């Protein structure tokens, strides 16, 4: 049985990627993930506030001081080099920020240090009333072009689900040379403590329910973009992974599941994928990938507005 997939032009032995997280901070842990079957690694992000030349001026109130980041830029490059020495699977570096300008130099350093690809996470919470709706997309396109023009390795973008027209944004990125889209960034919502009257930032791990938003947009974008697609957010079981592949993902990224259960969760996922494929007579991922995307599924309306009306009517008290 062939579980191989192509992601960002890279040949992966199976569709399981370790998503951007602290799980690659330790080389031995990364090696263990490779041994358990993970097919590629995404490093934690390095932040714009750290690596762009005028970063000091970009610091906003409430941003951590430079000492609070796990890796300084030079340490990040060293970690990347160490990972490349330790594992044979692709290692994807991650840059995170929102303001255009100055990304190219560090992107070149990542490529020189051996990164197989770069994932851009343009994490932006648009709270400024003077910012127009399309400003975030314009900035993201500028960042993407800047990086794509400066390196020869593939560059992907981790998208937010909150674009006014995700399809338009995805196609524009695809045309601008984006090698793949990662759907979707997770926004961490602060909670309120009603006793101390304080606002608490919090990091909650995901569950499978978060996957549904990803499935819908993977299904919609799969026929539209030439680049690769990866699902991130809510992959917790082999069923979740299979669903993402059925709607057109080339790969899935795991974080919460591995943080909770450790690297030895991976062989079980791969075994379950294989046995499902056997039951359905599929010999390779190509046999079923995208079978339920918008152009191939028997009921495309299920992904569109008609679904809304139908879903509301389906409620029985």
Ligand X SMILES: Cc1cc2nc3c(=O)[nH]c(=O)nc-3n(C[C@H](O)[C@H](O)[C@H](O)COP(=O)(O)O)c2cc1C
Query: Is residue 193 exposed (0-12), middle (13-18) or buried (19+ Cβ within 10 Å)?
Result: exposed
Residue 156 in the binding site for ligand X (CB under 6 A): no
Sole window of 4-12, 218-226, 229-237, 289-297 interacting with ligand X (rule: CB under 6 A): 229-237
Contact pattern for ligand X over residues 253 through 292, marking x by CB under 6 A? -xxxx-x---------------------------------
Cβ-Cβ contacts under 8 Å for 46 (sequence gap 6 or more): 69, 71, 73, 76, 93, 94, 95, 96, 106
Q: Tell me how far, at minimum, the Cβ of 300 lies from ligand X, in Å.
A: 26
71 or 282: CB nearest ligand X: 71
237 or 307: CB nearest ligand X: 237
Sole window of 28-36, 77-85, 228-236, 306-314 interacting with ligand X (rule: CB under 6 A): 228-236
Residue 233 in the binding site for ligand X (CB under 6 A): yes
Interface size with ligand X, residues (CB under 6 A)? 23
Residue 50 in the binding site for ligand X (CB under 6 A): no
Task: Out of 5, 121, 156, 160, point to the residue binding ligand X (CB under 6 A).
Answer: 121
Q: Tell me how far, at minimum, the Cβ of 251 lies from ligand X, in Å.
A: 12
Residue 73 in the binding site for ligand X (CB under 6 A): no
Cα–Cα nearest to 51, from 20, 75, 27: 75
Contact pattern for ligand X over residues 83 through 112, marking x by CB under 6 A? -----------x-x----------------
Task: Out of 5, 8, 10, 21, point to the residue binding ligand X (CB under 6 A).
Answer: 21
User: Pairing mode, if any, of strands 191-193 and 198-200?
Assistant: antiparallel
How far is residue 171's CA from residue 173's CA, in Å, rounded to a whole number? 5
Cβ-Cβ contacts under 8 Å for 17 (sequence gap 6 or more): 7, 38, 39, 40, 41, 42, 92, 230, 251, 252, 253, 254
Contact pattern for ligand X over residues 176 through 195, marking x by CB under 6 A? ----------x---------
Residue 169 in the binding site for ligand X (CB under 6 A): no
Q: Tell me how far, at minimum, the Cβ of 69 lies from ligand X, in Å.
A: 10
Q: Which residue has the tokens 């695809």?
A: 174
Task: Out of 14, 206, 222, 228, point to the residue binding ligand X (CB under 6 A).
Answer: 206
Residue 234 in the binding site for ligand X (CB under 6 A): yes
**φ, ψ for residue 288 (rounded to 5)?**
-135, -10
213 or 302: CB nearest ligand X: 213
158 or 289: CB nearest ligand X: 158
Residue 133 in the binding site for ligand X (CB under 6 A): no
How far is residue 215's CA from residue 243's CA, in Å, rounded to a whole number? 7
Task: Give the number of other Cβ atoms within 10 Å of residue 263's Cβ.
Answer: 20
CA 66 to chain centre: 25
H/E/C letters for each residue in 222-246? Answer: CCCCCCEEEEECCCCCHHHHHHHHH
If you count them, how many residues does the chain have?
317
Q: What's the farthest any 2 CA atoms get from each other in the chain?
A: 61
Q: Identify the DSSP state of 149.
A: H
Binding region for ligand X (CB under 6 A): 19-22, 44-45, 94, 96, 121, 158, 186, 203, 205-206, 232-235, 254-257, 259
């Amino acid at each position: 049985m062939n579980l191989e997939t192509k992601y960002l032009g890279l040949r992966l032995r199976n569709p399981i990627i370790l998503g951007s997280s602290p799980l690659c901070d330790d080389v031995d842990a990364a090696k263990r993930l490779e041994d358990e079957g993970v097919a590629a690694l995404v490093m934690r992000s390095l932040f714009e506030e750290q690596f762009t030349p005028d970063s000091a001026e970009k610091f906003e109130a409430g941003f951590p001081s430079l000492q609070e980041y796990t890796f300084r830029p030079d340490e990040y490059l060293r970690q990347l080099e160490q990972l490349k020495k330790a594992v044979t699977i692709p290692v994807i570096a991650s840059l995170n920020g929102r303001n255009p300008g100055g990304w190219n130099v560090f992107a070149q350093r990542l490529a020189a240090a051996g990164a197989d690809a770069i994932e851009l996470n343009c994490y932006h919470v648009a709270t400024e009333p003077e910012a127009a709706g399309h400003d975030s997309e314009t900035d993201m396109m500028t960042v993407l072009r800047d990086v794509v023009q400066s390196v020869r390795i593939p560059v992907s973008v981790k998208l937010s689900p909150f674009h006014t027209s995700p399809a338009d944004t995805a196609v524009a990125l695809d045309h601008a040379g984006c090698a793949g889209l990662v759907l979707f960034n997770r926004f961490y919502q602060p909670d309120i403590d009603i006793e101390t009257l304080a606002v608490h930032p919090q990091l909650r791990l995901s569950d499978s329910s978060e996957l549904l938003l990803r499935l819908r947009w993977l299904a919609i974008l799969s026929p539209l973009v030439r680049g690769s697609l990866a699902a991130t957010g809510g992959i917790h079981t082999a069923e979740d992974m299979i669903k993402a592949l059925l709607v057109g993902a080339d790969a899935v990224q795991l974080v919460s599941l591995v943080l909770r259960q450790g690297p030895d969760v991976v062989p079980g996922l791969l075994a379950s994928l294989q046995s499902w494929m056997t039951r359905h007579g599929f010999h390779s991922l190509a046999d079923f990938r995208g079978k339920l995307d918008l152009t191939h599924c028997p009921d495309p309306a299920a992904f569109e507005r008609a679904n809304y009306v139908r879903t509301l009517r389906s409620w029985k008290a």
